[in-house]
Structure formats: structure tokens, C-alpha cells
């Protein structure tokens, strides 16, 4: 079975105990199945922008993003014009509130019904696994016929240029009991070479973000860690990214950043095979971090754990435009 990947952004919208859900239409890949409103993140689009766009398309409502709820992944079996596909979706879920519009189903789209659903109603609905999980309900396999979209409905879709790539990755702001911060330096030949970065990297097909992060933590630094929270989701779009391919690529990276505790730190050592993107790893005191050449991922993570400046507006899920003074 062929493999395919996509990134989606979704909104958890509540009205008291009710939750807003949409039902997949017969022309979608989730016919008769209910899920949170949302959908695919377009190439170069911030996930927080994607959820506002998708929510308006699927429900008729405009929304405000009020927080970052969860990041998770799943694999669903589908059919396109070339046969069966195992589609891996990295799903970013935000807390949202409606700010205007009129509730309606998406015209001629992927959903044929939208409704406020009570806890009692949920028991009788077929839910996408990620939606059931987020609502605290048992996760059950989808019916076989519901998991296969008609070929003529899915289609192959527009061809993606060979040099355009979208990548999902998980990174960790890892600290030890002494308050030191664990960083890795990017090797020559990779984007950002010579800069200090957070441990982590791209997730594999079928892999959960947290599992990928803990795997990368061992490979890049030799440390065992505990993920204690979700800090932030950021993205970066570069239409001429140079890397090992030796040619410019239109590259869009979406990154989930987690808080990680390393309870029994050891000397940071790169254990991944030669030729990887990490050349060295190390522990640093906070005052030392401010003097390093850092990636924007490091700065976004540090900003996410600091209180905002007085009167500053911060859009949930998007990086702040400053570094706290104590990191400079």
C-alpha cells in the first residue's frame, strides 16, 4: 500500500457541554463520519491561519484562536485514482471561539452537516479517532466501508511540483534539574548549518510526535527525557531552501515544540549515524544560550515559556517577536 502524508489544523469549539462537529459527505474521505471542523494546511500556511480558513468554509463561522489544545497523528486507509493509500495526518488542534457568521454546512464540500452535539448525542455517532480521543471517548476502528473514499471523489489531485516539500517535525525544549538547556548544532550541508537548534526532527510515517521527539532526543544527544507539555506550534516557509539535495527547494516546515525534562542528564553525545544533520550537542546555562547563534525554533521556544510584556497581544500558536532580556 502506498503511503501519503498531510498536515491538518482543527478547532475545538464548545458551547457549554456542547461541541461543534461536522459530518463528512459522500464525496469526502470520511463519509458519514463526524469530526472537529478543520482540514489541510496549505503549503506555506501557518496552521493557525489554516484553522480559521477551514472553520469558515466548513461551518460558516468566523473564529478566534484562544489556545493550543493538542498535536497528534493517525493513519487512515483511503483510495485514490491509483489505488489504496495509507494516509498519515499530523493534526494540530486549537481551542477556538466563534466571533461571527451563520452556522451552515459547507456548500458542495467535504461536509454535509454541521451541528452542536451534546454528550448524550455523541454515543450514537461514528467519530474520527482523533476526535473521539480529544473528547475523552473510546477510540474505535472506523467501519471498513467508511475508510475507503470513492476513486472518482478523491482523485489524484493536482500534481505537486517535485521541488516543493511540506514537512512535520517535533522538537523539545529540554532542561535538566540544574536548569541547563540542551541544544544541538546543525551540521554543514543542512539548512541553518552552524546554528544551535532544539533536539528533534521530522516524524516518520505512522509515528506520533512525542514518540518521534523522544527517539530524536536519544539519536541527537544520547539523553532520555520526559515530555511534560506542549509549548508551541510554529512554521517556516522558504521558497529557496538549500540542503543536502544541492538545489533550492520550496520548503514548508511545521514544528510542534514540547517541554521536556531530563531527570538524569549525561554528557550530550550524538549517537545517530554519520552524515546526519546534527554535528554536536551540549548543555548550556541560560546566560550562555543568549550568546549563541540560534535558530528561530530556539527563540520561539524560549519566548513561549516567558510572560508577555505589559499590553502586548500574542496570537495563540504563533511566535512572539522578541526574546526575553534574561536570554540576551
Using 50, 70 and 90 to split pLDDT, how confident is the model at 159?
low
For the chain, how long is the longest CA-to-CA vector? Answer: 59
Q: Which three cell numbers stand for residue 68?
A: 493550543
176-229 pLDDT, tens digit each: 999 999 999 999 988 889 999 999 999 999 999 999 999 999 999 999 999 999
Asked if 105 contacts 21 with a C-beta cutoff of 8 angstroms, the reply is: no
Percent of the chain with pLDDT over 70: 86
Closest CA to 276 of 171, 216, 187, 183: 187
301-325 pLDDT, tens digit per residue, is 999 887 544 333 334 444 333 333 3
- E strands within 44-152? 61-80, 83-101, 111-117
Residue 78's nearest CA partner among 30, 22, 8, 32 is 30
User: Looking at residues 250-278, what average pLDDT do you find?
Assistant: 93
- Yes or no: say if 195 and 289 are a contact pair by the CB < 8 Å rule: no
> Given pLDDT bands bounded at 50, 70 and 90, which one contains residue 155?
very low
Highest mean pLDDT, choosing among 83-92, 235-244, 311-320: 83-92
**Distance between CA 244 and CA 188 in Å, rounded?**
9
CA distances from 83 to 1, 136, 305 (A): 8, 34, 46
- State the cell numbers at 202: 521530522
Whether the pLDDT of residue 111 is over 90: the answer is: no
Average pLDDT, the chain: 86
Secondary structure class of 154 (helix, strand, coil)? helix
Q: Are strands 249-261 and 164-175 parallel, antiparallel or unpaired?
A: parallel
pLDDT of residue 146: 60
> How many C-beta neighbours within 10 Å does residue 79 have?
16
Write out the three cell numbers for 270: 550524538
Q: Torsion over CA of 133, 139, 143 and 147, rounded to 10 degrees?
A: 40
User: Of the CATH numbers 3.90.79.10, 3.20.20.70, 3.90.870.10, 3.30.560.10, which one belongs to the domain with range 2-154?
Assistant: 3.90.79.10
Write out the residue limits of the CATH 3.90.79.10 domain(s) in the chain.
Answer: 2-154, 164-327
Of 147-156, 191-200, 208-217, 266-275, give the lowest mean pLDDT range. 147-156
pLDDT over threshold 50, residue 120: yes
Give the model's pLDDT for residue 306: 76
Q: What is residue 307's predicted lDDT score, i.e. its pLDDT?
A: 57
Q: Report yes or no: 265 and 175 within 8 Å, Cβ to Cβ.
A: no
Take residue 167 and report the three cell numbers written for it.
Answer: 514537512
Q: Using the predicted structure, report yes or no on whether residue 298 has a pLDDT greater than 70.
A: yes
Bigger pLDDT: 239 vs 13: 13
Which cell is 304 given? 513561549
User: Which of the listed CATH numbers 3.90.226.10, 3.90.79.10, 3.90.320.10, 3.40.50.300 matches domain 164-327?
Assistant: 3.90.79.10
At 154 the pLDDT is 44
Closest to 16 in 3D by CA, of 85, 114, 119, 115: 119
pLDDT at 91: 98
Q: 83-101 and 2-15: which strand pairing?
A: parallel
* Cβ count near 313 (within 10 Å): 6
Q: Looking at residue 314, what is its pLDDT?
A: 39
Whether 48 contacts 132, CB under 8 Å: no
Give the model confidence (pLDDT) of 25-83 as tens digits: 877 667 789 999 999 999 999 999 999 999 999 999 999 999 999 999 999 887 777 78
Q: Report the pLDDT value the prediction gives residue 322, as an integer from 0 to 100.
A: 31
State the cell numbers at 38.
478543520
Structure confidence at residue 158 (pLDDT): 57
Q: Please tell me whether residue 45 adopts helix, strand or coil conformation.
A: coil
Residue written as cell 498531510? 6
Amino acid at each position: 500500500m502506498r503511503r501519503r502524508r498531510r498536515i491538518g489544523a482543527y478547532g475545538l469549539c464548545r458551547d457549554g457541554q456542547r461541541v461543534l462537529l461536522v459530518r463528512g459527505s459522500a464525496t469526502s474521505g470520511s463519509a458519514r463520519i463526524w469530526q472537529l471542523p478543520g482540514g489541510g494546511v496549505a503549503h506555506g500556511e501557518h496552521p493557525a491561519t489554516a484553522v480559521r480558513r477551514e472553520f469558515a468554509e466548513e461551518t460558516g463561522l468566523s473564529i478566534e484562536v484562544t489556545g493550543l489544545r493538542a498535536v497528534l497523528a493517525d493513519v487512515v486507509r483511503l483510495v485514490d485514482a491509483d489505488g489504496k493509500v495509507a494516509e498519515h495526518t499530523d493534526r494540530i488542534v486549537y481551542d477556538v471561539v466563534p466571533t461571527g457568521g451563520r452556522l451552515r454546512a459547507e456548500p458542495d464540500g467535504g461536509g454535509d452537516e454541521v451541528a452542536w452535539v451534546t454528550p448524550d448525542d455523541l454515543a450514537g455517532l461514528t467519530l474520527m479517532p482523533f476526535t473521539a480521543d480529544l473528547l475523552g471517548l473510546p477510540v474505535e476502528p472506523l467501519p471498513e466501508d467508511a475508510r475507503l473514499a470513492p476513486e472518482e471523489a478523491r482523485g489524484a489531485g493536482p500534481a505537486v511540483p517535485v521541488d516543493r516539500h511540506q514537512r512535520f517535525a517535533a522538537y523539545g525544549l529540554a532542561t535538566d534539574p540544574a536548569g541547563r538547556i540542551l541544544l544541538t548544532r546543525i551540521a554543514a550541508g543542512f539548512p541553518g548549518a552552524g546554528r544551535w537548534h532544539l533536539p528533534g526532527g521530522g516524524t516518520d510515517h505512522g509515528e506520533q510526535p512525542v514518540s518521534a521527539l523522544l527517539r530524536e532526543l536519544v539519536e541527537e544527544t544520547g539523553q532520555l527525557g520526559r515530555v511534560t507539555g506542549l509549548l508551541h506550534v510554529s512554521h517556516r516557509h522558504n521558497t529557496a531552501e538549500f540542503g543536502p539535495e544541492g538545489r533550492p527547494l520550496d520548503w514548508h516546515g511545521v514544528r510542534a515544540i514540547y517541554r521536556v525534562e531530563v531527570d538524569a542528564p549525561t554528557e550530550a553525545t550524538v549517537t545517530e549515524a554519520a552524515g546526519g544533520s546534527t554535528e554536536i550537542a551540549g548543555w548550556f546555562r541560560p546566560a550562555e544560550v543568549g550568546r549563541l547563534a540560534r535558530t528561530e525554533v530556539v527563540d520561539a521556544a524560549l519566548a513561549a515559556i516567558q510572560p508577555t510584556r505589559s499590553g502586548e497581544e500574542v496570537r495563540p500558536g504563533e511566535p512572539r517577536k522578541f526574546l526575553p532580556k534574561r536570554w540576551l
